Amino acid sequence: MEPASKYDVQTSMRTVVATTSRHVRADDLATCVACGLCLNDCPTYRLLGEEADSPRGRLQLIRALVDSDGPVPAGLAVHLDRCLVCRACETACPSGVPFGRIMEGAREELSERRPARGVAAWLRRYGLGTVASPRRLGIAARVTDLYARSPLAAAARLAPRALAWASSLAPRREGPPFRPTERADADVLLFAGCIMREAFGDTERATVAVLEADGRRVSAPVEQVCCGALHAHAGDGDGARRLARLNIDAFAGSEAPIVVNAAGCGAHLKAYGEVLRGDAAWAARAAAFASRVRDASEVVRPRRAGTGRPIRVVYQDACHLAHGQKVRDQPRALLRGIEGVTLVEIADAERCCGSAGIYNLTQPDIARELQRQKVACILAAHPDVVVSANPGCMLQIQAGLRAAGAAVPVVHLMRFLADPRAFG
Ligand code: SF4
Ligand code: SF4
């Protein structure tokens, strides 16, 4: 794939920077020693072959950005926008560079110094406002569901490429939306998310059922809101911090673990201490909140029910679970524990599928190629079912399998655990 623009990045890297930024820390940037060991694990570097589209190149561009408060260097934003924030570079990096945190800070810096304009910027603001508003998101989810079930969606395959691509990713609702309800004697609190509760109601109910089958008493605070991960990734730091404060208040008054079933949300909730680090009034509460967050696979116990027949299962690592939370073994152990399941590993299991929040809408060419590669790896394993723990990955892989003519179901880990026979 040809890069859309070139940016000259010096490969003799500086590792010291006198940052003027409020959002990117000099000590974070200084952790990169420019060794290049991350390059081959970066999906965009592998596709585009440009230093500026590698972790090392992007860090160098971010140094240039925060070195001064002058005009933003021309062409720089293109390469930062192409980053998936998949954090595969964090796994590969021997120096512990906190790349996700650096990139989110750089995007906030960029959005302050060179506010985006035009239709795309308006659409992004509208989208972020929608996920943050339960009422607006409910309407959007209903409309999208009606569209996805209509003949229009099938006809959109023949539409111009960009429209057909966006249409292929439109989610159908899994049953009715999930409505949080509270109970006073809870020993687990469920973080229900925004899109999850609207579009993946059956997965939410399955998560509650699996926890209750373990003897847990589950409560879902009604005042909770979107986690803010999409806002942070898009450089809307104020929006991300506002949502974090609302959630900290919503989950206050309990020491119980906060369980989440969406990898992207979980990685961000676990980082609330960082998100509000600069806010003296909230920093300690944010760190305490973050310490309570667990992915559902870290909490639930192995099941006894079997599938009813032998099946091959591919577990798809969501980047924000594998790279962001270092949760790899727990979901696999749960799947291996189910009678009848043969867990099949795929090639390049930890490479991003191209979903990455709203990346598949903002960078469709790269997202489509990553989807194609992921689907090829999955199909080579001949699965009966694909299991994942992130809604974005599920939609991206479902669409890719459909495009490849493969009728392989893609299901959330919690739904599979709740009723393995349904997929056997
Ligand atoms: S976060 Fe992912 S896409 Fe971005 S630089 Fe790191 S490996 Fe590459
Ligand atoms: S592996 Fe780490 S230290 Fe080496 S270039 Fe990549 S980010 Fe920098």
Pocket test for ligand 1, best of 1, 9, 81, 87 (most atoms within 8 A of CB): 87
Is residue 21's pLDDT more than 50?
yes
In whole numbers, what is the pLDDT of the chain averaged over residues? 92
| 380 domain residue, yes or no | yes
Residue 131 in any domain: the answer is yes
Joined tokens for residue 309 = 């027949």
pLDDT of 172 over the 70 cut: yes
Flag whether 351 is in a domain: yes
Q: How many angstroms does the Cα of residue 347 sit away from the middle of ligand 2?
A: 24
- Which atom of ligand 2 has the smallest separation from the CA of 56? 5
Average pLDDT over residues 60-85: 92
Q: Which residue has the higher pLDDT, 68 or 252?
A: 252
Atom 4 (ligand 2) nearest CA? 35
44 close to ligand 1 (CB < 6 Angstrom): yes
Q: Is the pLDDT of residue 129 over 60?
A: yes
Q: How does residue 362 score in pLDDT terms, banded at 50, 70 and 90?
A: confident
Please name which ligand lies nearest the alpha carbon of 88: 1
359 lines ligand 1 (CB under 6 A): no
Asked if the structure places residue 101 within a domain, the reply is: yes
Which ligand lies nearest to the CA atom of residue 45 in the structure? 1
- At residue 3, the pLDDT reads 40
Is the CB of residue 89 below 6 angstroms from any atom belonging to ligand 2?
yes
Asked if residue 27 has pLDDT above 70, the reply is yes
pTM: 0.93
Same structural domain, 411 and 322: yes
The per-residue pLDDT for range 318-342, each reduced to its tens digit, is: 999 999 999 999 999 999 999 999 9
Interval 238-295: pLDDT, tens? 999 999 999 999 999 999 999 999 999 999 999 999 999 999 999 999 999 999 999 9
The residue nearest atom 8 of ligand 2, judged by CA position, is 32
Q: Could you say which ligand is closest to the alpha carbon of residue 34?
A: 2
Domains held by the chain: number = 4
The whole-number pLDDT of residue 6 equals 44
Could you tell me if 39 and 87 lie in one domain?
A: yes
Q: Encode pLDDT of 225-240 as tens digits.
A: 999 999 999 999 999 9
Q: Are residues 281 and 317 in the same domain?
A: no
197 and 157 together in one domain: no
Rounded distance between C-alpha atoms, residue 40 and residue 45, angstroms: 7
| Ligand 2 atom closest to 39 (CA) | 6
Residue whose CA is closest, atom 6 of ligand 2? 38
Q: Which domain holds residue 287?
A: 188-298
* Whole-number pLDDT of residue 15: 52
